Amino acid sequence: MREIIAILRGVTPDEVETIGEALIAGGIAQIEVPLNSPEALTSIELLAGRFDDVAKIGAGTVLTVEEVEAVAARGGKMIVSPNADAEVIAATRRLGLRSLPGVFTATECFAAIKAGASGLKLFPAFKLGLDGYQALAAVLPRAKPCYAVGGVDAADFAVWRAAGIAGFGIGTALYRPGDRPEAVAERARKLSAAYDLT
């Protein structure tokens, strides 16, 4: 599975299945629906119900333990947050879900790892920069995957992968509310091709 997480911020339940199908057809099989999207839990339930056997479905912008529990109840398997909250991480792991908290500093990285994070979401990656990531990578456990999220696109994949990043979270470069599934599928194919070259 390619380590690209599609971030469907603003997606609605009436379009989420066709967008999910387009992403999977384009080679991206990890899908995050941010909880500040319209009826996000319904979208997660629809995606999980249809694509659970071929894709990893989860939620983004998860800020509370209650939200973790709600996502798990709807079939989500991945919890992504903009911050590193130890209680959210612990609840995620207790329920057997993948935990990707948002981090930026070494202190946040190690606190998230100590709390049980499955991997680390470096956010916003464009502000941290490649130099910042390389400095963190020198001290982080090699077994802990890191994902660059925010301001990173296909053109950046090769240099970030060469530096050791595991994968990427891609939002508006892949999907914006109202986009046609065909356009999303084409962008997904281009991103997948760029990832495969790294």
- The pLDDT assigned to 43 comes to 98
Question: What mean pLDDT do residues 137-143 have?
Answer: 93
Please say if 32 is a catalytic residue.
yes
Which tokens hold the place of 80? 């992504």
- Domains for the chain: give ranges and CATH numbers: 4-196 (3.20.20.70)
DSSP 66-115: HHHHHHHHTT--EEE-SS--HHHHHHHHHTT-EEE-EE-SHHHHHHHHHH
Give the other-Cβ count within 10 Å of 138's Cβ.
Answer: 9
Task: Please report, rounded to a whole number, the percentage of residues in the chain having pLDDT higher than 70.
Answer: 100
Q: Which of 15, 45, 67, 121 is catalytic?
A: 121
Check whether 139 has a pLDDT greater than 90.
Answer: yes
Check whether 1 has a pLDDT greater than 90.
Answer: no
- Phi, psi (degrees; rounded to nearest 5) at 146: -115, 140
Q: How confident is the model at residue 92 (pLDDT cuts 50, 70, 90)?
A: very high
Whole-prediction pTM:
0.97
* 10-40: pLDDT as tens digits: 999 999 999 999 999 999 999 999 999 999 9
3-state SS class at 149: strand
Check whether 82 has a pLDDT greater than 90.
Answer: yes
- The pLDDT assigned to 74 comes to 98
Check whether 149 has a pLDDT greater than 90.
Answer: yes
Q: Give me the chain's average pLDDT, please.
A: 97
Please say if 186 is a catalytic residue.
no
Check whether 143 has a pLDDT greater than 90.
Answer: no
Question: What mean pLDDT do residues 91-100 have?
Answer: 98
Q: Which of 15, 32, 45, 67 is catalytic?
A: 32
